[in-house]
């Protein structure tokens, strides 16, 4: 007993020591953040604005818990509006002499967001300020941003690895059969491929044709963006001839990238830092070879844009992440939470117009309708509403957009998916394997229905199918009324098919092209505002911890080597795909969701960070 008691005391001591260590780390970080928060940030004269884009570029970052902040292991998230606002300010800021893009840990952000940042980088260059980019290896998203720089640097051990848009979807039919799990699916339309992962082992010909048309449009938008940034570069010819170039170049892929015009300079980080010291001068520690006069993104935002949202006339409300019923934190579009933000904009006398920034693959149809009704209330209060579509604004996301006076999208936005489906999992065979059976009594054909153990009877199946068809008809009619199109014409482009912004504009699903800044300007025009139009985001109240953590790099990406970025991003997208399938299978029985859209958004998983963590380890 004495021996066991000693072991117990040791275990308790270890537990107490770990708890004490956690508290010391937490409160130490809290104290540091408080001191930083209260300090006045100054921009060094002639400094470089350094955008260390480690992690994913998102429309709305997910708040972190204290435990997640200390534990780390999850990819950071950078809000795209922070980046574009900083670049717009830097273009006019005499204290900023250059802009630096550090892209070694950049996981991507959806092409629509990349286009927005690219336009802001072009404004910096037009202001006569050089933009320099550095990475060990450039992949599609990071090179798109780098292509907008005056000087693109690559590490001697690296290269540019372009793959082009593509998507891999998961299909669960065989796995469900092995688990003896049955899934009843209900849908309307040929192209509502969201249910195919549960019914097939591969994409249907219709879904494959639609997906191919989508990625072709995305690749066209990508090439056009590169052409605008680097007119002399023939990307089509370069990609076509790249395998032969690699074979003839041998191991020196960095030099190959330079000779092909994909990068401008090959050199290690120290040489890149020396180049920056020539441009902007030495930093606070001249003895450090890699130091130069700089200011980071969080510090620059604090110094220049702390009070920029005061007296704003246009409110921005985000509909970001899966659309769910009730309340939800940022990173998910909880219907009640988003509607509350819209109501705050309505009650604010300073706000004259509203922009809904939609970055969502959809979700609950009833939740989407709650948000739509809130937007209609804003219009009824005399405040014009403009929808700004992000990288993905499909299905339930587009349902919300139908409330707007105008819908703007990037050419690479993914939208449409005007379709509805239902999923009811049946667990009877699975439970029977465990020796569990069921029985019961009822009074009507609908008693004990829907029965998730014994399955659906014909009346229940007919009722759910009728519900799906009813919601689908409502969706089609909403689009027809909002877009002033005959219902038969909406039917032709609906049925759950996903479209690029390029196609959506041609099909009259969107009014024009443009990012969030264009949407703000359009909202101001509709509200008949004059002069410089100020916009502010209306967001959920943040806890003290969230406010202190904002802009602090406490959580670092778990990628140890830039060469591992593709695998890292692939694991994140796999986690997103699995989560989307689980949400579809366990969520509302009638949904307006684009399951395939996850492959084209930023490679992060805001609503389910625990799942993202498990995918990384």
Count of alpha carbons within 13 angstroms of residue 121, beta-carbon side: 28
Q: What is the C-alpha to C-alpha distance for residues 86 and 541, in angstroms, rounded to an integer?
A: 23
Q: Give the DSSP letter of residue 550.
A: T
Per the CB < 8 A criterion, the answer to whether 413 and 401 are in contact is no
Per the CB < 8 A criterion, the answer to whether 429 and 187 are in contact is no
**Which of 191-205, 324-338, 550-564, 587-601 has the largest mean confidence?**
324-338
Check residues 5 and 176 and name the one with the higher pLDDT. 176
| CA 518 remoteness from chain centre | 19
Per the CB < 8 A criterion, the answer to whether 144 and 226 are in contact is yes
pLDDT of the residue at 541: 83
Q: For residue 322, what are its two tokens?
A: 């899966």
Give me the mean pLDDT over the 400-420 stretch.
95
State the distance between the two ends of the chain, measured CA to CA, in whole angstroms.
39
Q: What percent of the chain has pLDDT over 70?
A: 80
Q: What is the C-alpha to C-alpha distance for residues 615 and 617, in angstroms, rounded to an integer?
A: 6
pLDDT digits (tens, 9 = 90+) for 321-339: 999 999 998 989 999 999 9
- Residues 6+ away with beta carbon under 8 Å from 600: 110, 111, 165, 167, 218, 391, 392, 414
Task: Kindly give the pairing relationship between strand 96-102 and strand 591-593.
Answer: unpaired
Q: What is the C-alpha to C-alpha distance for residues 125 and 562, in angstroms, rounded to an integer?
A: 27
Q: For residue 462, what are its two tokens?
A: 């007919």
pLDDT reading at 546 higher than 80? no
Nearest to 600 by CA among 458, 449, 416: 416
Helix (H, G, I), strand (E, B) or coil at 599: helix
Q: What is the C-alpha to C-alpha distance for residues 405 and 407, in angstroms, rounded to an integer?
A: 7
Instruction: For the chain, give the longest Cα–Cα distance.
Output: 85
- pTM here is 0.86
Give residue 559's pLDDT band: very low, low, confident or very high (50, 70, 90): very low
pLDDT digits (tens, 9 = 90+) for 119-169: 999 999 999 999 999 999 999 999 999 999 999 999 999 999 898 888 778
Among the ranges given (84-88, 237-241, 343-347), the one the predictor scored with the smallest mean pLDDT: 237-241
Among the ranges given (308-312, 414-418, 545-549), the one the predictor scored with the smallest mean pLDDT: 545-549
Q: Which residues are catalytic?
A: 192, 395
pLDDT reading at 170 higher than 50? yes
Q: Across the beta sheet with 151-154, what order do the strands follow? A: 265-266, 151-154, 131-135, 96-102, 47-52, 294-296
Helix 111-126 to helix 80-92 angle (10° resolution) is 10
Give me the mean pLDDT over the 425-438 stretch.
88
Please give the domain boundaries of the chain with CATH numbers for all domains.
43-165+227-304 (3.90.226.10), 314-421+458-536 (3.90.226.10)
Give residue 67's pLDDT band: very low, low, confident or very high (50, 70, 90): low
Q: What is the C-alpha to C-alpha distance for residues 13 and 15, in angstroms, rounded to an integer?
A: 5
What number of other Cβ atoms are within 10 A of residue 205's Cβ? 9
Q: What is the C-alpha to C-alpha distance for residues 40 and 125, in angstroms, rounded to an integer?
A: 29
pLDDT of the residue at 192: 59
């Amino acid at each position: 007993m004495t021996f066991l008691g000693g072991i117990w005391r040791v275990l308790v001591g270890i537990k107490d020591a770990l708890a004490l260590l956690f508290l010391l780390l937490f409160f130490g970080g809290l104290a540091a953040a408080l001191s930083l928060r209260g300090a006045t940030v100054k921009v060094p004269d002639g400094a470089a604005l350094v955008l260390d884009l480690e992690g994913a570029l998102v429309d709305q970052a997910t708040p972190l818990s204290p435990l997640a902040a200390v534990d780390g292991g999850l990819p950071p998230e950078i809000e795209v509006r922070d980046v574009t606002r900083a670049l717009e300010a830097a273009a006019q800021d005499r204290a900023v002499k250059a802009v630096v893009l550090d892209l070694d840990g950049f996981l991507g952000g959806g092409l629509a967001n990349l286009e927005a940042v690219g336009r802001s980088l072009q404004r910096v260059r037009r202001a006569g300020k050089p933009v320099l980019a550095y990475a060990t290896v450039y992949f599609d998203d990071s090179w798109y941003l780098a292509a907008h720089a005056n000087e693109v640097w690559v590490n001697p051990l690296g290269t540019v690895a372009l793959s082009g848009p593509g998507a891999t979807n998961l299909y669960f039919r065989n796995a469900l059969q092995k688990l003896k799990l049955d899934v009843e699916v209900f849908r309307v339309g040929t192209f509502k491929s969201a249910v195919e992962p549960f019914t097939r082992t591969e994409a249907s010909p219709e879904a494959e044709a639609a997906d191919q048309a989508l990625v072709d449009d995305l690749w066209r938008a990508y090439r056009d963006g590169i052409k605008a940034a680097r007119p002399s570069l023939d990307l089509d010819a370069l990609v076509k001839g790249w395998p032969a170039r690699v074979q003839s170049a041998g191991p020196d892929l960095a030099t190959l990238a330079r000779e092909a015009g994909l990068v401008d300079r090959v050199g290690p980080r120290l040489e890149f830092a020396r180049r920056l010291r020539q441009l902007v001068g030495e930093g606070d520690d001249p003895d450090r070879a890699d130091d130069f006069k700089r200011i980071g993104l969080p510090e620059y935002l604090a110094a220049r844009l702390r009070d920029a949202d005061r007296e704003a006339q246009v409110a921005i409300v985000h509909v970001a992440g899966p659309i769910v019923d009730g309340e939800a934190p940022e990173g998910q579009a909880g219907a009640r939470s988003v509607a509350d933000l819209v109501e705050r904009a309505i009650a604010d006398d300073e706000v004259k117009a509203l922009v809904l920034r939609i970055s969502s693959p959809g979700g609950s149809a009833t939740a989407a309708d709650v948000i739509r009704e809130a937007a209609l209330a804003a219009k009824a209060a005399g405040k014009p509403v403009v929808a700004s579509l992000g990288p993905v604004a499909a299905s339930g996301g587009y349902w919300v957009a139908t409330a707007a006076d105008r819908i703007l999208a990037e050419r690479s936005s993914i939208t449409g998916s005007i379709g509805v489906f239902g999923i009811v999992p049946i667990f009877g065979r699975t439970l029977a394997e465990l020796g569990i059976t069921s029985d019961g009594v009822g009074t009507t054909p609908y008693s004990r229905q829907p029965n998730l153990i014994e399955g659906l009877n014909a009346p229940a199946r007919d009722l759910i199918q009728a519900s799906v068809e009813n919601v689908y008809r409502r969706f089609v009619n909403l689009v027809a009324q909002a877009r002033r199109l005959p219902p038969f014409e909406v039917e032709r482009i609906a049925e759950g098919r996903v479209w690029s912004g390029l196609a959506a504009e041609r099909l009259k699903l969107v009014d024009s092209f443009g990012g969030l800044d264009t949407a703000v300007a359009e909202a101001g025009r509709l509200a008949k505002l004059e002069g410089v139009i100020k916009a502010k985001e209306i967001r959920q109240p943040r806890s003290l911890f969230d406010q202190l953590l904002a802009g602090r790099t406490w959580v670092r990406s778990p990628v140890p080597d830039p060469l591992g970025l593709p695998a890292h991003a692939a694991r994140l997208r796999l986690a997103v795909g699995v989560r989307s399938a689980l949400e579809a299978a366990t969520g509302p029985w009638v949904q307006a969701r684009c399951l395939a859209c996850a492959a084209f958004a930023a490679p992060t998983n805001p609503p389910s960070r625990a799942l993202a963590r498990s995918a990384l380890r």
